[in-house]
Structure 1
Amino acid sequence: MKQILFSLLMVTGITFAARAQSEQYQQAMNQQVGLLDSASSFTQAGMQQLGNTFERVAEAEKTQWLPYYYAAYCRVNEAFFTQDKGKVDEIADKALLNIEKAAALKGKDSEISCILSMIASARIGVDPMTRGMKYGMESGQHLEEAKKLNPENPRVYMLEGQALLYTPEAFGGSKTKAKEKFEESLKKFATEKPADKLTPHWGEGYVKALMADLSK
Structure 2
Amino acid sequence: MKRLFLAFLFTGSLATVAVAQSAQYTEAMTKQTSDLDSSSTFTQEALQQKANTFERIADAEKSQWLPYYYAAYMQVMQAFTLKDKSQIDPLADKAESNLDKAEALSPKNSEIACIRSLVATARLTVDPMTRGMKFGPEAAAQLEQAKSLNPENPRIYMLEGQSLLFTPEQWGGSKSKAKTTLELALEKFAAFKPESSIAPHWGETYTRKLLEQSQK
- Is the TM-score greater than 0.5? yes
- Aligned residues of 2:178 and 2:214 also touching (Cα < 8 A): no
Letter of the 2:202 counterpart: W
Cα distance in 2 between the residues matched to 1:158 and 1:87: 26
Partner of 1:123: 123
The one-character-per-residue Cα deviations of 1:96-130 (angstroms, maximum 9, x if unpaired) are 01111110000101111101100000001100110
Match of 2:193 in 1: 193
List per-residue Cα deviations over 1:139-184 (Å, max 9, x = no partner).
0100111111111111111111111111112211111111111111
What is the DSSP-based 3-state SS (H/G/I as helix, E as strand, rest coil) of the residue aligned with 1:194?
Answer: coil
What SS does the aligned partner of 2:34 have?
A: helix
Give the stretch that moved more between structures: 166-175 or 21-30. 166-175
Deviation at 1:215?
A: 2.5
Q: 1:137 & 1:37 partners in 2: Cα distance?
A: 27
Partner residue in 2 for 1:4? 4
Q: Is the 8 A contact 2:175 2:215 kept in 1?
A: no
Number of equivalenced pairs: 216
For 1:30 and 1:76, locate their aligned partners in 2 and report how far apart those are by CA, in whole Å: 21
Extract unaligned runs of 5+ from structure 2.
none
Check whether the contact 2:37–2:206 (CA below 8 A) recurs between aligned residues.
no
1:92 deviates by 0.6
The answer to whether 1:202 aligns with 2:202 is: yes
- Matching of residue 14 in structure 1 with residue 4 in structure 2: no
TM-score (norm 2): 0.96
d(CA) in 1 for partners of 2:29 and 2:211? 30
* 1:105 alignment counterpart: 105
* 4+ residue segments displaced more than 3 Å: none
Shift of 1:57: 0.3
Give matches, 1:1-216, under 5 Å.
1-216=1-216
- Distance in 2 separating the partners of 1:160 and 1:107: 22
What is the distance in 1 between the residues matched to 2:37 and 2:176? 28
User: Gaps (5+ residues) in structure 1?
Assistant: none
Contact 2:72 2:96 in 1 (8 A): yes
Q: Tell me the secondary structure at the aligned position of residue 152 of structure 2.
A: coil
Q: What is the alpha-carbon distance in structure 1 between the residues aligned to residue 148 and residue 2 of structure 2?
A: 58
SS of corresponding position for 2:112? helix
